[in-house]
């Protein structure tokens, strides 16, 4: 079958400021030699956002317990690189996409700073606020916090998010120490390095210790499920923090697993009630449910715009913001809806003005598979270097169903099913579990709907759920005339697959199969192996 | 020791996935229900006109095609099954029931389904994927009941007209329990100081009960048990008694290799082993049979994917109990390469059995077919046996 | 100079100077260059903290 073709879209406007984006790394230091010149207006905008980030960091570090935490926990060193992360995420962006990216990611930075503050406040080694700690419930990095939607005062602390997940966005070598610790203890090198690193953090005693209890979920994979047992053992035996294992069914689209899932949510809520002493509050729950639906509507609108010729909110920040809002927040915070609304306003404006992010858009691409944390910003590189537009990614294709948001007796029962549904459809696991239909078949549906001619397939080499259908992707993509660009990586261990090796795989496809030349040749080889 | 009368017979059953007893049962008009995971309640596949066969891929060599479909990072067992299915090695089966247990086995089954690699020419062939609870609790039992109804009983009844009544299930459990009792009785001889059955022989017998129709094995197992009652054991003591714990072992050559190093495999706790897979199902007359079967499988599984902490701790306590009961000097924790659940469980088990229970533990990963890595494994086992001997010489109890 | 003129000029001058300094730091990435020098010191410090490494 012939390959599908999409229209070439040329940008009538010339990009202001720096044209060559591959010149910022010298290969010597960890950071760029200077920041990007984006024209006067956008540079000044970026500068004000930099000031804002600096103010968030300054407000964080002036607190003594946070300084104490900085000197106790190895992962905290990565937070020296927060502004650097923003520079990676805004590479080449101007106008609305620049503002959307900052609006979304600056809020994520604020949210993570709050999470770390809360962690250190309750942490027995730093803040040791016992009263506060008694209100904290630890949850996993990849956990949907739906079961906390009806608790007004208790706090869900996603302890692994700042410790492992975000740290690896900041600096590429953030997890290697912990992976080594885990492997020294005997976990093989072929498992997913993310739960392995989390296990390593636990073994290395580098997690903050707080909370009255912990709720763990079988999240994305067998490795993640199994790593939880190891972490729970230390929590329970050494720190006396009881744990509850919340089970989300694997075949989550099947009707005959929903009762089970809802029942387990009830048990999780009961467990939290018992340990926090707080009763579930339906008003709080339904207010959160409204916000969940609100976030779903906004996300759908952004995706609708991304289905047109002029997408606005794309790239890793699209994914990371959705991660934070959909999963970590799950309607609990009233601070997210105004941010969503502001992004939507910018998305609409950008669409109306036909704002583009590169000289031309050659390919419309769906990014599938599990993204490498240490090279997640590569999506902007694809736009700038090759004119390949990442329309959406697997992790952002989550729940689209509206959940019950009015407080009625029927809806109170329905609510358990809704929470279970959200829990089952947490990011990544809603695709990696549930059979080939959700992972393979629906990918082709998204390609059709978003008019994509290309799938950039992140092949996370130790993600068994993805690897297990490698051949099916190959064959079915070929049958449908979709370009499947395989890009291998090892999630959060850049020693196995460097950033340049990842880019090379993409570039090779562009040159050898598509016979194209880069839009910005300076980006083809970037000397960032030692960079943060 | 004198050879067991039926050992070669049992060994031959393991040489091919499509063994002669499968053909015999099908000639008798029974349908073959293929399955791929220990968490699938076996008696429900041995009803009336059906018999269950757990798939294996004996003597696996190249897995090139499966590696193309699933990459080299998936566990070799799952790849071996897919490879064998593509080769047509499971064409004898009349349906495939695959629980969504571990991800890799699930993907193997899904690839088999997508490639239609099983059931050519069989109009009634069907694939079923079922959910298996991740925790041992009553909620899990309810899920298991529903799943068994929807994905085993209903399809069997609708497709093959199978009797799925309570009486039929009870009959199947009785047959299942008879096999379990025989295996347990045979296994009891492993407790002796001079055991009258080797670990290898025992594994061959046990394994056969997974891959062949049970009702056709009972007489041979009964004869073997009788034979063992008077069998003269070797008078030479083994250098060390070891228990093998870990992921699935359907390659008896692995047990043989361990015993060739001077160890005696006195107890097993792995899929395709006697614990917990051949522990009889306790039944009463007050409750329906299906519920009782499901409860047994939910509460008695020791699969590492069971995630509640009672199970996480309980698995190690169970190994300790068995090791004590069967007088093991040491424990071998093994894992098929690239198996995620056992990668973590092996670490936890190794550490806890050493630190909490005081056993010497050898922690190894291994290929699916041990013949591809004999030398390496032998060296490790030999060193382990020697270390146990040294400990004994130095007066250590465990 | 009159006070009414002097104060705004001073404020403006301070503001301009602050802008000049911070913009220079921003544009030449001096903040990150500094923190990248701090990181190895911190990592050395973490290596020295006694750890209770266990499962």
Interface contact B340-A192, CB threshold 8 A: yes
Q: Tens of pLDDT along A157-205?
A: 999 999 999 999 999 999 999 999 999 999 999 999 999 999 999 999 9
B220 has pLDDT over 80: yes
Q: Which residues of C touch A532 (CB under 8 A)?
A: 32, 36
Interface contact A74-C53, CB threshold 8 A: no
Strands B50-54 and B31-35: parallel
B200 contact A CB<8A = no
Other beta carbons within 10 angstroms of residue A105's beta carbon come to 22
Q: Which residues of C touch B348 (CB under 8 A)?
A: 55
Give the contacts of B3 (CB within 8 A, at least 6 positions apart).
none
Q: Is residue A405 part of a domain?
A: yes
Strands A9-10 and A360-361: antiparallel
Tokens of A56: 């968030």
Of C35, C51, C54, the CB nearest to A81: C35
Interface contact A226-B345, CB threshold 8 A: yes
Other beta carbons within 10 angstroms of residue A133's beta carbon come to 21
Percentages of chain C per state (helix, strand, coil), in multiples of 5: 80, 0, 20
How near does any CA of chain C get to the CA of A244, in Å?
19
Distances (CA, A) of A260 to A178, A417, B135, B310: 35, 9, 11, 19
A213 has pLDDT over 60: yes
Alpha carbons A259 and A268: distance in angstroms, whole number? 14
Alpha carbons A424 and A436: distance in angstroms, whole number? 16
Q: Tens of pLDDT along A125-144?
A: 999 999 999 999 999 888 89
Interface contact A221-B340, CB threshold 8 A: yes
pLDDT at A27: 83
Which site among A27, A74, A181, A234 would you substitute to test the C interface, given the most C Cβ atoms closer than 10 Å to its Cβ? A74
Q: Is residue A221 part of a domain?
A: yes
Tokens of A18: 């720096």
Q: Tens of pLDDT along B308-335?
A: 999 999 999 999 999 999 999 999 999 9
Which site among B72, B138, B309 would you substitute to test the A interface, given the most A Cβ atoms closer than 10 Å to its Cβ? B309
Residue for token pair 């490790």: B380
SS3 B384: helix
Which site among C52, C53, C55 would you substitute to test the B interface, given the most B Cβ atoms closer than 10 Å to its Cβ? C55
Beta bridge partners of A455: A366, A484
pLDDT at B396: 64
Of C23, C33, C52, the CB nearest to A29: C33
C15 contact A CB<8A = no
Interface contact A203-C49, CB threshold 8 A: no
What is the number of structural domains in chain A? Answer: 1
User: Average per-residue pLDDT in chain B?
Assistant: 96
Q: Is residue A531 part of a domain?
A: no
Interface contact B134-A187, CB threshold 8 A: no
How near does any CA of chain B get to the CA of C54, in Å?
9
Chain A, residues 415-444, CB within 8 A of chain B, namely: 432-433, 435-436
Q: Tens of pLDDT along A217-240?
A: 988 789 999 999 999 999 999 999
Residues spanned by the domain of A345? 9-523
A472 has pLDDT over 60: yes
Q: Which residues of B touch A253 (CB under 8 A)?
A: none
C55 contact B CB<8A = yes
**Mean pLDDT, residues B372-397 taken together:** 91
Q: Tens of pLDDT along B32-60?
A: 999 999 999 999 999 999 999 999 999 99
Chains near C (3 or more Cβ pairs under 8 Å): A, B
Beta bridge partners of B127: B96
Which residue would you say has higher pLDDT here, B1 or A345?
A: A345
Alpha carbons B80 and B87: distance in angstroms, whole number? 10
C4 contact A CB<8A = no
Total-model pTM:
0.96
Of C26, C38, C51, the CB nearest to A35: C26
Interface contact A468-B78, CB threshold 8 A: yes
Q: Where are the alpha helices (DSSP H) in chain B?
A: 7-13, 20-27, 64-70, 76-87, 103-114, 138-148, 154-160, 166-188, 199-211, 218-229, 252-260, 289-300, 309-325, 340-355, 374-393
Q: Is residue A1 part of a domain?
A: no
Q: Which residues of B touch A222 (CB under 8 A)?
A: 102-104, 305, 340-341
Q: Is residue A440 part of a domain?
A: yes
Cα nearest neighbour of C54 on chain B: B351
- DSSP letters for B69-130: HH-TTS-HHHHHHHHHHHHTTTTT-SEEEEES-SHHHHHHHHHHHHTT-S-TT-TT-EEEEE
Alpha carbons B81 and A276: distance in angstroms, whole number? 48
- DSSP letters for B24-58: HHHHTTPEEEEE--TTS-GGGGSSTTEEEEE---T
Q: Residue A428 — left, alpha, or beta (φ > 0 → left; ψ -120 to 50 → alpha)?
A: left
Interface contact A74-C29, CB threshold 8 A: no
Q: Is residue A397 part of a domain?
A: yes
Q: Tens of pLDDT along B342-378?
A: 999 999 999 999 999 999 999 999 999 999 889 999 9
Q: Which residues of C touch A27 (CB under 8 A)?
A: none
Tokens of A279: 């009763």
Which site among C15, C23, C25, C27 would you substitute to test the A interface, given the most A Cβ atoms closer than 10 Å to its Cβ? C27
Chains near A (3 or more Cβ pairs under 8 Å): B, C
Strand order in the sheet with A388-393: A388-393, A363-369, A454-460, A483-489
Give the contacts of B300 (CB within 8 A, at least 6 positions apart).
B276, B279
Interface contact A465-B103, CB threshold 8 A: yes
Confirm if A422 and A150 have CB atoms less than 8 A apart: no
DSSP 8-state code for residue A9: E
Confirm if A176 and A493 have CB atoms less than 8 A apart: yes
Closest CA to B46 of B173, B184, B150, B178: B173
């Amino acid at each position: 079958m012939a390959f599908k073709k999409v229209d070439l879209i040329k940008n009538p406007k010339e990009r202001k400021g720096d044209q060559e984006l591959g010149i910022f790394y010298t290969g010597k230091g960890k950071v760029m030699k200077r920041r990007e010149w984006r024209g006067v207006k956008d540079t000044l905008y970026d500068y004000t956002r930099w000031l804002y980030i600096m103010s968030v960091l300054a407000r964080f570090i002036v607190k003594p317990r946070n300084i104490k935490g900085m000197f106790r926990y190895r992962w905290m060193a990565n937070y020296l690189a927060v502004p650097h992360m923003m520079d990676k995420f805004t590479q080449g962006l101007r106008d609305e996409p620049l503002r959307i990216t900052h609006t979304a990611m600056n809020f994520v930075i604020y949210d993570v700073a709050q999470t770390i503050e809360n962690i250190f406040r309750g942490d027995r080694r730093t803040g040791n606020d016992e009263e506060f700690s008694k209100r904290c419930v630890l949850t996993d990095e990849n956990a949907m916090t739906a079961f906390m939607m009806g608790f007004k005062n208790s706090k869900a602390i996603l302890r692994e998010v700042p410790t492992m997940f975000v740290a690896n966005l900041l600096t590429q070598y953030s997890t290697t120490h912990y992976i080594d610790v885990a492997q020294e203890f005997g976990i093989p090198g072929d498992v997913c390095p993310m739960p392995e690193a989390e296990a390593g953090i636990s073994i290395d005693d580098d997690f903050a210790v707080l909370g009255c209890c912990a709720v763990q979920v079988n999240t994305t994979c067998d490795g993640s499920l199994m790593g939880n047992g190891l972490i729970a053992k230390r929590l329970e035996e050494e720190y006396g923090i009881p744990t509850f294992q919340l089970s989300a069914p694997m075949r989550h689209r099947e009707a005959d697993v929903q009762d089970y899932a809802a029942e387990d949510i009830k048990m999780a809520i009961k467990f939290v009630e018992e340990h926090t002493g707080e009763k579930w509050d339906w008003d709080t729950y339904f207010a959160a449910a409204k916000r969940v639906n609100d976030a779903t509507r906004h996300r759908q609108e952004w995706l609708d715009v991304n289905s047109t010729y002029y997408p606005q909110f794309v790239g890793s920040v699209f994914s990371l913001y959705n991660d934070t809002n959909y999963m970590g927040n799950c309607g609990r915070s009233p601070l997210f809806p105004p941010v969503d609304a502001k992004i939507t306003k910018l998305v609409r404006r950008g669409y109306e003005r036909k704002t583009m992010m590169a000289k031309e858009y050659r390919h419309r691409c769906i990014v599938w598979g599990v993204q490498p944390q240490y090279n997640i910003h590569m999506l902007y590189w694809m736009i700038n270097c090759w004119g390949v537009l990442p329309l959406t990614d697997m992790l952002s294709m989550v729940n689209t169903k509206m959940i019950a948001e009015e407080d009625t007796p029927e809806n109170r029962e329905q609510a358990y099913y809704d929470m279970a549904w959200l829990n089952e459809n947490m990011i990544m696991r809603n695709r990696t579990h549930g059979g080939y239909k959700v992972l393979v078949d629906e990918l082709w549906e998204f390609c059709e709907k978003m008019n994509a001619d290309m799938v950039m397939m992140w092949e996370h080499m130790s993600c068994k759920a993805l690897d297990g259908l490698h051949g099916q992707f190959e064959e079915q993509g070929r049958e449908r005339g979709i370009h499947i660009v395989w890009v291998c990586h090892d999630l959060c261990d850049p020693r196995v697959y460097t950033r340049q090796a990842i880019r090379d795989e993409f570039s090779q496809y562009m040159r050898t199969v598509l016979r194209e030349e880069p839009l910005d040749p300076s980006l083809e080889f970037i000397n960032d192996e030692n960079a943060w | 020791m004198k050879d067991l009368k039926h050992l070669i017979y049992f060994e031959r059953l393991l040489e091919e996935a499509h063994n002669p007893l499968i053909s015999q049962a099908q000639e008798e008009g029974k349908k073959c229900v293929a399955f791929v995971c220990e968490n699938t309640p076996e008696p429900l596949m041995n009803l009336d006109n059906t018999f269950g066969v757990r798939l294996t891929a004996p003597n696996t060599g190249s897995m090139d095609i499966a590696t193309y479909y699933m990459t080299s990072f998936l566990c070799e067992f799952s790849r071996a099954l897919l490879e064998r299915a593509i080769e047509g090695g499971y064409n004898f089966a009349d349906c495939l029931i695959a629980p969504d247990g571990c991800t890799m086995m699930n993907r193997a089954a899904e690839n088999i389904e997508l490639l239609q690699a099983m059931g050519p020419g069989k109009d009634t062939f069907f694939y079923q994927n079922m959910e298996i609870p991740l925790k041992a609790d009553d909620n899990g039992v309810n899920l298991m009941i529903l799943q068994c109804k929807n994905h085993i009983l209903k399809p069997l009844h609708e497709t093959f007209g199978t009797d799925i009544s309570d009486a039929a299930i009870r009959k199947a459990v009785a047959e299942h329990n008879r096999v379990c009792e025989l295996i347990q009785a045979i296994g009891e001889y492993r407790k002796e100081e001079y055991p009258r059955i080797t670990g290898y022989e025992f594994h061959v017998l046990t394994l056969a009960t997974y891959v062949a129709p049970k009702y056709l094995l009972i007489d041979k197992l009964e004869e073997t048990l009788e034979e063992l009652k008077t069998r003269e054991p070797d008078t030479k003591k083994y250098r060390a008694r070891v228990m093998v714990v870990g992921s699935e072992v359907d390659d008896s050559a692995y047990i043989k290799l361990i015993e060739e190093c001077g160890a005696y495999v006195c107890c097993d706790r792995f899929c395709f082993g006697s614990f917990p897979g051949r522990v009889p199902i306790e039944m009463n007359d007050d409750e329906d049979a299906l519920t009782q079967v499901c409860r047994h499988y939910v509460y008695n599984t020791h699969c590492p994917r069971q995630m509640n902490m009672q199970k996480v701790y309980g698995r190690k306590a169970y190994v300790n109990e068995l090791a004590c009961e069967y007088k093991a000097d040491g424990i071998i924790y093994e894992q098929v390469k690239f198996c995620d659940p056992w990668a973590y469980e092996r670490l936890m088990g190794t550490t806890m059995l050493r630190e909490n229970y005081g056993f010497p533990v050898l922690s190894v990963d291994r290929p699916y077919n041990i013949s591809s890595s004999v030398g390496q494994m032998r060296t490790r086992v030999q060193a382990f046996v020697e270390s146990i001997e040294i400990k004994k010489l130095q007066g250590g109890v465990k | 100079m009159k006070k009414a003129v002097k104060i705004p000029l001073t404020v403006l001058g301070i503001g301009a100077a602050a802008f000049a300094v911070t913009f220079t730091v921003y544009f030449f990435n001096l903040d990150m260059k500094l923190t990248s020098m701090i990181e190895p010191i911190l990592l050395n410090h973490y290596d020295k903290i006694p750890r209770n490494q266990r499962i």
